[in-house]
């Protein structure tokens, strides 16, 4: 057993997430292939499971397609089929039209539809049944994210021998907001089926424990919730605590050190016209990411003459996301309209101040972009963590570059040496962008040095050790009957 496998005490590990780590895509010629699924969940979790090995249960990303289980590296992937109606009601509806906006401080208006909830419950039940049929005796099952909050309790009922862990990758909302959810009690009870519930930030864990006290009356002693004996089983405890997620910093640093990556970074700058300053934004095209606010600030700085469009290029990478959900369609129209207006007003022949890229890139190309950027703008209105900020820092072993970071991203708890901003304050955001564009090398070095230490000290191995250590302790306490 290596150090990683030791984390599960030799038990089988079953990952469960809405999406598998790879999505099935149909190519132009009709053939199909697999590509990495979008988002931070896979970036963070993949390096752990590559070492540990696991079974991974999730959706393959297309509608009405039954895919047989298959092996991928150290993983055995078990696809769950979702119909077009499941996708519309469970995924686009309840997950991304109700929970996503509610859990992100109602930046968009959550919609509450009983039909969506009903399908969410049914799809969660299907996930639980598939896991129950797949997991070996005494396995550790690790359920991920807001799409599957009912799975822990459903699974416990089917398979009481399992140790169940849950991790919420997005924020848990404050009490007044969570209370809006018509099915708040069911969600809390669903999560409490787990032995360990992990959150990104202390505030999330506190908000959850308060919701438990309010909606179930089960008391919390510190981080531990004590569930009384009931018809469903004996008294037991649930650990609900923050475990801030991270990245495999060394694997990003390794790509960044390669001569070909450095060469590619230079090429990118040359292709952009070798401007004095390259600014970068990298986000899923999501209304939580603050892209509208960022573009507004950038446009005003060009209009005020505080940034010179012949001197600066802003590259905004916006990965396609949830394109059939109304709020995302609207956002795309708005962002693309704004990009056109900015370039129309401030571009010159052969040179546009804004380079907008609406597509996915390879990891190597992302790293080259990070190296090419003098300034990274990470300005979400709300974000569970934001791994892009950590990736930029991990790549900059030259100790150059400036990170402008929203105080509403979970990452701001650790990355205190970034230029922290309130993205709602457009004047403050503009001032931070100007400061970043003119920051002296020595200040860049000092800040980046401290940021790199923060990311290196809390990388994904550290996160996994803390989280899986708690899960393993729960598994072992169960075996000897403590808390059970």
- What does the alpha-carbon distance between residue 41 and residue 31 come to, in Å, rounded to a whole number? 27
Query: What, of ligand F6P, ligand ADP, none, does residue 317 touch, CB below 5 to 8 Å by kind?
Result: ligand ADP
169 has catalytic annotation: yes
Query: What, of ligand ADP, ligand F6P, none, does residue 145 touch, CB below 5 to 8 Å by kind?
Result: ligand F6P
Which of these is catalytic: 23, 195, 248, 383? 383
Which of these is catalytic: 104, 144, 169, 293? 169
Under DSSP, the state recorded for 165 is: E
- What does the alpha-carbon distance between residue 383 and residue 394 come to, in Å, rounded to a whole number? 19
Torsion angle, alpha carbons of 56, 62, 66, 70, to 10: -40
383 has catalytic annotation: yes
What are 136's strand-pairing partners?
A: none
Pairing of strands 75-80, 54-59: parallel
Q: Which is nearer to ligand F6P, 40 or 353 (CB)?
A: 40
**Which residue's beta carbon is nearest to the bound ligand ADP?**
40
- What does the alpha-carbon distance between residue 142 and residue 129 come to, in Å, rounded to a whole number? 15
Sole window of 32-40, 112-120, 135-143, 158-166 interacting with ligand F6P (rule: CB under 6 A): 32-40
Closest approach of ligand F6P to the CB of residue 42, in Å = 6
Binding site for ligand ADP (CB under 6 A): 39-40, 43, 282, 284, 317, 319, 360-361, 366, 385-388, 391
Alpha helices (H) in 280-325, listed in sequence order: 291-304
Q: What are phi and psi of 311, to 5 degrees?
A: -115, -15
What are 383's strand-pairing partners?
A: 409
- What does the alpha-carbon distance between residue 93 and residue 85 come to, in Å, rounded to a whole number? 10
Sole window of 35-43, 258-266, 287-295, 361-369 interacting with ligand F6P (rule: CB under 6 A): 35-43
Whole-angstrom CA distances from 32 to 35, 73, 235 are: 10, 19, 49
Q: Taking a C-beta distance cutoff of 8 angstroms, is the pair 379, 369 a contact? A: no
Sole window of 39-47, 151-159, 189-197, 222-230 interacting with ligand F6P (rule: CB under 6 A): 39-47
Query: What, of ligand ADP, ligand F6P, none, does residue 195 touch, CB below 5 to 8 Å by kind?
Result: none
For ligand F6P, the binding residues in 145-164 under the rule CB under 6 A are 145
Binding flag, residue 382, ligand F6P (CB under 6 A)? no
Q: Which are the catalytic amino acids?
A: 169, 383
Residue ranges binding ligand F6P (CB under 6 A) = 18-19, 38-41, 145, 169-170, 321-322
């Amino acid at each position: 057993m290596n150090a990683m496998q030791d984390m599960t005490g030799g038990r089988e590990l079953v990952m469960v997430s809405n999406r598998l780590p790879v999505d099935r895509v149909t190519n132009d010629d009709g053939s199909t292939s697999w590509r990495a699924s979008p988002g931070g969940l896979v970036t963070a979790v993949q390096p752990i499971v590559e070492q540990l090995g696991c079974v991974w249960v999730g959706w393959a990303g297309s509608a009405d397609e039954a895919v047989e289980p298959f092996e991928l590296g150290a993983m055995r992937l078990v696809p769950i089929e979702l119909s077009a109606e499941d996708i519309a009601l469970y995924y686009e509806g309840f997950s991304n039209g109700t929970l996503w906006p509610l859990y992100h401080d109602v930046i968009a208006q959550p919609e509450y539809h009983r039909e969506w909830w009903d399908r969410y419950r049914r799809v969660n039940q299907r996930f639980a049944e598939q896991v129950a049929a797949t997991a070996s005796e005494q396995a550790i099952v690790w359920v991920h994210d807001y799409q599957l909050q009912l799975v822990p309790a459903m699974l416990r009922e089917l398979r009481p021998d399992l140790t169940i862990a849950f991790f919420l990758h997005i924020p848990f909302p404050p009490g007044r907001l969570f209370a809006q959810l018509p099915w708040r009690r069911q969600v809390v009870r669903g999560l409490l089926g787990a032995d360990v519930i992990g959150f990104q930030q202390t505030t999330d864990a506190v908000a959850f424990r308060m919701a438990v006290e309010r909606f179930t009356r089960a008391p919390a002693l510190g981080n531990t919730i004590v569930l009384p004996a009931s018809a469903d089983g004996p008294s037991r405890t649930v650990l609900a605590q923050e475990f801030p997620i991270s990245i495999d910093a060394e694997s990003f640093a390794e790509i960044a050190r390669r001569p070909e990556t450095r060469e590619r970074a230079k090429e990118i700058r040359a292709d952009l016209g070798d401007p004095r300053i390259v600014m970068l934004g990298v986000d899923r095209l999501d209304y939580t990411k603050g892209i509208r606010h960022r573009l507004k600030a950038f446009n005003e700085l060009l209009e005020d003459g505080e940034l010179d469009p012949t001197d600066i290029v802003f590259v905004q990478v916006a990965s396609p996301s949830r394109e059939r959900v109304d709020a995302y369609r609207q956002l795309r129209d708005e962002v693309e309209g704004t990009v056109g207006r900015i370039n129309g007003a401030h571009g010159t022949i052969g040179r546009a101040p804004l380079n907008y890229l609406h597509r996915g890139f390879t990891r190597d190309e992302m790293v080259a972009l990070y190296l090419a950027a003098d300034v990274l703008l990470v300005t979400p209105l709300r974000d569970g963590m934001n791994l892009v900020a950590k990736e930029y820092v991990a790549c900059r072993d030259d100790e150059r570059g400036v990170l402008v970071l929203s105080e509403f991203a979970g990452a701001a708890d650790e990355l205190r040496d970034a230029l922290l901003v309130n993205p709602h304050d457009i004047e403050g955001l503009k001032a931070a962008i100007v400061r970043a564009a003119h920051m002296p090398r020595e200040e860049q070095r000092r800040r980046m040095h401290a940021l790199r230490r923060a990311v290196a000290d809390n990388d994904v191995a550290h996160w996994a050790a803390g989280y899986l250590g708690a899960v393993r302790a729960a598994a072992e306490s169960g075996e000897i009957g403590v808390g059970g």
